[in-house]
Amino acid sequence: MLKRRRARSPALGLVGAGILLALGLVALLAPWLSPYDPHHRASRPFLPPSAGHPLGTNDIGQDIASELIHGTRVSLLIGVLAAAVALSLGTLVGLVAGYYGGPVDVLLMRLVDVVLVVPFLPLVILLAAYLGPGMWNTVLVIGGLAWARPARVIRSQVMSLRSRCYVVASQAMGGRPAHVLSGHVLPGIMPLALAQFVLAASHGILVEASLSFLGLGDPVRKSWGSMLHYAQLRGAFLTGAWRWWVLPAGLMITLTTLGFTLVGYWLEERFDPRLRGGR
């Protein structure tokens, strides 16, 4: 009688999906969309926006608009790859912990607790500083530390699936754990894993931006974060240049993160049994 209607609608999820689709297209078509090669000097440095350079040029005369368009590729790629690493680890840990239970579960969940307590960004900075700049290092560092949350969510879903009839039946008929897990449990956690993946990607993109901003990003591949790193080094936000040098890159990061977050929350709300129906 007192059941509340759901406040959030799928419309916001669709907005998020639209944002991501548009960004994906920009990333795919980057070489055709951008007017210049972002790695070459196109004009004099520190030019304000003009017809030839819609967002002006940076401190060494590269076209900022082209940097921005190519940056979509790098930022998206790193965010998605880091999320993939985090989710693979998280799913593995969550599956094993949730399926076997007992001491294995206790041990793995203690590990999750430990990882969740470690200060995330400082450790990422420390590791990235030691490993040196590079795209794969960034991906591994972020992914290698961000798996704990998805692991916990997936574990609880596995625990609830484990007691369902078809899984119990499959075990009773002598199905090997690997078979039961991949055939019966994995399909059940896929939607939830997808939601966690999307949320991890939104987090990954923000962390990558922070790392690159601190000068720990890949020096060869320009992401939005590394654009802002140079803008900050040259004090662009203390001159009028912030409007075309600082503003667009940050807006792109915000838009991307927001797109992933919207889609992630929407998926989570749809597929997470704990958020469905009840309070």
Partner 1 sequence: MRRFLAGRLVQYAVVLWLALTLNFLLPRLMPGGPAQFLLGDEAGRLSPELKAAIMSELGLDRSLGHQYLAFLGRLARGDLGYSLARGEPIRKVVADRLPWTVLLTGSALVVATWAGVALGTVAAWRRGSRVDVGLVMGAMLLASMPVFWLGMVLVATFGLHLGWFPLFGLRTAGATQTGWRAALDVARHLALPVLTLAVHNLFGTLLLMRHSMVSVLGEDFVLLARAKGVPARRVMYRHAMRNALLPVATHFALGLGFVVGGATVTETIFSLPGIGRLMYEAVLARDYPVLQAAFLLVTVTVIAGNLLADLVYPLLDPRVRREARA
Partner 2 sequence: MDDLLVIEDLVVAYSGPAGEVRAVDGVSLRLPRGASLGLVGESGCGKTTLALALVRLLPSCASILSGRILLEGEDLVQMPETAMEGVRWRRVALIPQAAMNSLNPVYTVGWQIREAIATHERVASREADRRAAAALELVGLDPARRFAYPHELSVGMRQRVVIAMAFACRPPLIVADEPGSGLDAISRAQVLGLMQRLRHRLGTSFVMISHDLEEATALGDLVAVMYAGKVVEVCPAGRFPGQARHPYSRALAAAHPPLRGPRQQLTGIPGEVPRPGSPPPGCRFHPRCPEAAAACRQVGPELSKVAPGHHVACHLWGGEGL
Instruction: Write out the residues near partner 2 by the rule CB under 8 A.
Output: 1-2, 5
Q: How far apart are CA 226 and CA 209, in angstroms?
A: 7
Smallest separation (angstroms) from partner 1 to the CB of 200: 15
Q: How far apart are CA 40 and CA 161, in angstroms?
A: 55
Smallest separation (angstroms) from partner 1 to the CB of 117: 5
Tokens of 55: 């967002």
Tokens of 43: 């004009």
Among 77, 92, 186, 246, binds partner 1 (CB under 8 A): 246
Smallest separation (angstroms) from partner 1 to the CB of 241: 10
Q: How far apart are CA 277 and CA 279, in angstroms?
A: 7
Residue 277's binding partner, choosing from partner 2, partner 1, none, with beta-carbon cut-off 5 to 8 A by kind? none
Pick out residues in 159-218 that bind partner 1 (CB under 8 A).
202, 206, 209-210, 213-216
| Chain centroid to CA 238 | 30
**Which part of the chain contacts partner 1 (CB under 8 A), choosing from 1-9, 21-29, 166-174, 187-195?**
1-9
DSSP reduced 3-state for 279: coil
Smallest separation (angstroms) from partner 1 to the CB of 243: 8
Tokens 């890159």 identify what position? 249
Residue 247's binding partner, choosing from partner 1, partner 2, none, with beta-carbon cut-off 5 to 8 A by kind? partner 1
- Using CB under 8 A as the binding rule, whether residue 44 contacts partner 1 is answered as no
Smallest separation (angstroms) from partner 2 to the CB of 9: 13
Residue 1's binding partner, choosing from partner 1, partner 2, none, with beta-carbon cut-off 5 to 8 A by kind? partner 2
Contact between 213 and 226 under an 8 Å Cβ cutoff? The reply is yes
DSSP annotation string for 152-200: HHHHHHHHHHHTSHHHHHHHHTT--HHHHIIIIIHHHHHHHHHHHHHHH
Q: How far apart are CA 5 and CA 2, in angstroms?
A: 9
- Using CB under 8 A as the binding rule, whether residue 92 contacts partner 1 is answered as no
- Using CB under 8 A as the binding rule, whether residue 17 contacts partner 1 is answered as no
Smallest separation (angstroms) from partner 1 to the CB of 59: 16
Angle separating helix axes 148-162 and 186-213, nearest 10 degrees? 170
Among 247, 269, 270, 272, binds partner 1 (CB under 8 A): 247
Amino acid at 220: V
Contact between 31 and 73 under an 8 Å Cβ cutoff? The reply is no
Q: Quick one: DSSP state of residue 240?
A: T
- Using CB under 8 A as the binding rule, whether residue 226 contacts partner 1 is answered as no
Total residues contacting partner 1 by CB under 8 A comes to 47
Contact between 90 and 204 under an 8 Å Cβ cutoff? The reply is no
- Using CB under 8 A as the binding rule, whether residue 250 contacts partner 1 is answered as yes
Name the residues that contact partner 1, by CB under 8 A: 2, 4-5, 7, 12, 110, 113-114, 117-119, 121-123, 125-126, 129-130, 202, 206, 209-210, 213-216, 225, 228, 231-232, 237-239, 242-243, 246-247, 249-250, 253-255, 257-258, 261-262, 279
